[in-house]
A and B are shown apart, each in its own frame.
Chain A
């Protein structure tokens, strides 16, 4: 166990900052008293001989002083360089000096003096402007817009509600969240991860609502990540979650801005990433994974019913094959008489023990699922037909698996996909295998002990200091309004208490007109 444990070093913020700088500019030295050419050579030093690093020297028409533009071609929009820097310099007449250009040029223009930061700026899609005054330089943000359209995320599609989703661009994503949450208290903190990869991410929370301890904790954990490269949000997730060995997802992945906004207002913290449409929300509890944005746009009875269906789906997906195995091979007494002959006749010629039979079909289903993800949509449906219908039918006819088993497996598979969250669904699908083994060993007793362990594991799991199985354990009747049920909006007048928010009251005072 101890071998796997992450060293829990407390890394102070200053040290992290220092490390990043060291990683960036380990070659550059203090720049002093150099002319422009020398300076340019100097600042280009940290870069290898990459050919997309372009230096463009311009002579201003007004005076003889030279300026030089420095940018990385591949991540800079040249149109922008032209319109934001070159055009103002050349078209506005002879008298223009750099000083006056500064006044009228783009709002993005900033003066910087720290030459150690040069690579960082370059890598963040900035165009740097150097003048003969070598004590400072200017940065203009000219990011290239290689961005797909904002579309609804496929893995979280809904029936009713906003159909926008995050894209692979941080500023667009932030804009989407801001549009949903135009609050002065929405706070965004930028962080950079990876000594070499410099992935930019944003930490979002609503000030005066989110628990400051929580924000601090998340920030601490994120900043403690030390790696040459952090590519995927998954890397971050695995580095900051509480119990890496638990099967259960402890951070909510979503691509929906409305979901992020709603969770922020409940007092949670979100992480958004550049280059990835995935946002992470923390801390979450078990029941968050069973909520869907759709719920809030349906009539509340209907949503409550669907919540119930989903929780039922959890138990069915987890336990149905196990219960089938234990009934068929241990306790067939519990089946009513009129049913047992039916079951018996369908089982009569199956050569395998029920566990093998169940494993065979469960694995087949997983094969089909995995295969259909990888294949293009058109072939995918073919695979589904071949897998689902042909194999299912043939396997029964061949007498390898009973038709009852097929029903059980099919129901289980459907139940597993009821979960709105892909991660939770995967967890449930994995967990059913130990349950099946337990059922085949000890029958009902095995299932009971399986559930005991599972429930207790959920009870002792914490995510970022808040209990995972809240509001069931610890029981908090008030918070049940948005777990098993989806109480109407006018009843949802408090924030979840397990988050220890600064403002537990969310000031939902609707339907006042109805009171008198």
Chain B
């Protein structure tokens, strides 16, 4: 008992030493951005929301922006730390934005610090910005004026884009395994700061650890569908299926994807010729059809046919673009590696991929059309 008491008193004396870092003595970074200077140094921009507690209970948030330059990410972080009064903390970071130039270099070099630090937030979103990342972060957006912190706003924008499948669902951790995979590449959301809002341009495609190109917004939905993702809450797209109706809006139909099933076939002929084919079976409901005529089965069949044709065409466009960029986000190489390892070992995949025969077909089935016919 005496022992316990003395142990207890020792503990009492020791509290507050060592690892304690109290929440109110830290500044939480919620959005961070990386750019390169002309001489290859790293510019880190960080946004820290500072809550001004108000009597009424509703806090107003002010986004403070800090910038520092350093040779490495860590070095610039240290400099940032010296700029602010309290300790900067990265563990609640919501989003990392890479400037376009930074994304075109090896992005692992920027992200290493996040993978290495036990406290870092691996579930933060990661996105590429058109232009400079610092421009996005230091911009005063409409929504960030009052309640929302900048990190929160950017994160939520990306989340809503994910829900409509405009961009794939990725975070710092999920891109990591793919980044290392020689047989697969990845894509990140591609942002652009407009005057008062953030705009999701589409997806930025990567090869290895470098950005190689982009697919713009309406087409990026097709891209996400091709990754074989199950349907999302708001997987919507508007497609032009006729050419010559007047007014122009009658040419369009808007669909909502209900089910999306992918079969992915990768074949290697005995001669070593690789062909890949993605077949999508998509079940959709029609949410808008200004032509207003869905009562006959033939009309529905017709729309299905037109949609399939249009989507297949789009899919092929996406694949062609990917091959042109030499980016392999669907993991054709992974399939080859897994099932045809000897072939894989012989190949130089980077050279081979643009040359393979890669096709896609989409088969659309309309399963609903709202509450009117």
Contact = CB atoms under 8 A, between A and B. Distances in A.
A332 B11 contact: no
A338 B28 CA distance: 12
A334 to B, nearest CB: 10
Nearest to B123: A337
Contacts of A437: 8, 11-12, 15
Contacts of A441: 11, 14-15, 17-18
A341 B51 contact: yes
A interface residue count range (under 10 / 10 to 19 / 20 to 34 / 35 or more): 20 to 34
B53 A346 contact: yes
A340 B92 contact: yes
A355 B24 contact: no
Given A340-B28, A343-B23, A344-B28, A333 B8 contact: no
The residue in A330, A344, A354 that gathers the most chain B C-beta atoms within 10 A of its C-beta is A344
Contacts of A348: 24, 51, 53
A353 B22 contact: yes
A330 B20 contact: yes
A344 B23 contact: yes
Nearest to B91: A333
B24 A347 contact: yes
Contact of A345 (B1, B53, B94): B53
B21 interface: yes
A72 B272 CA distance: 117
Contacts of A342: 59
Given A333-B91, A438-B11, A344 B16 contact: no
Interface string A323-339: 00000111011000110
Contacts of B94: 337
Contact of A330 (B21, B28, B92, B152): B21
B19 interface: yes
A242 to B, nearest CB: 15
B11 A245 contact: no
B121 interface: yes
B2 interface: yes
Contacts of A1: 1-2
A82 to B, nearest CB: 58
A352 to B, nearest CB: 10
A443 B16 contact: no
Main secondary structure of the interface of A (DSSP, over half): helix
Interface residues of B, number: 32
Contacts of B19: 330, 442-443
A362 to B, nearest CB: 15
Given A341-B51, A348-B51, A348-B53, A333 B119 contact: yes
A345 B53 CA distance: 6
Nearest to A333: B91
A348 B85 CA distance: 14
A4 interface: yes
B11 A337 contact: no
A248 to B, nearest CB: 15
B61 interface: yes
Interface in A1-28: 1, 4
B49 interface: yes
A337 B92 contact: yes
A343 B24 CA distance: 9
The residue in A330, A337, A440 that gathers the most chain B C-beta atoms within 10 A of its C-beta is A337
B149 interface: yes
A434 interface: yes
Nearest to B10: A441
Given A1-B1, A245-B1, 4 more contacts: A340-B23, A341-B49, A345-B59, A440-B16
Interface of A: 1, 4, 245, 328-330, 332-333, 337-338, 340-350, 353-355, 434, 437-438, 440-443
27 contacts: A4-B1, A245-B1, A329-B20, A332-B91, A333-B92, A333-B119, A337-B92, A338-B152, A341-B28, A341-B49, A341-B51, A341-B149, A344-B24, A345-B59, A347-B22, A348-B24, A349-B24, A349-B53, A353-B20, A434-B8, A437-B8, A440-B15, A440-B16, A440-B20, A441-B11, A441-B15, A443-B19
Interface of B: 1-2, 8, 11-12, 14-24, 26, 28, 30, 49, 51-53, 59, 61, 91-92, 94, 119, 121, 149, 152
Kindly list the 9 A-B residue pairs having the minimum CB-CB distance in the complex, ordered from nearest: A345-B51, A347-B24, A440-B15, A333-B91, A332-B23, A329-B22, A441-B15, A329-B20, A345-B53
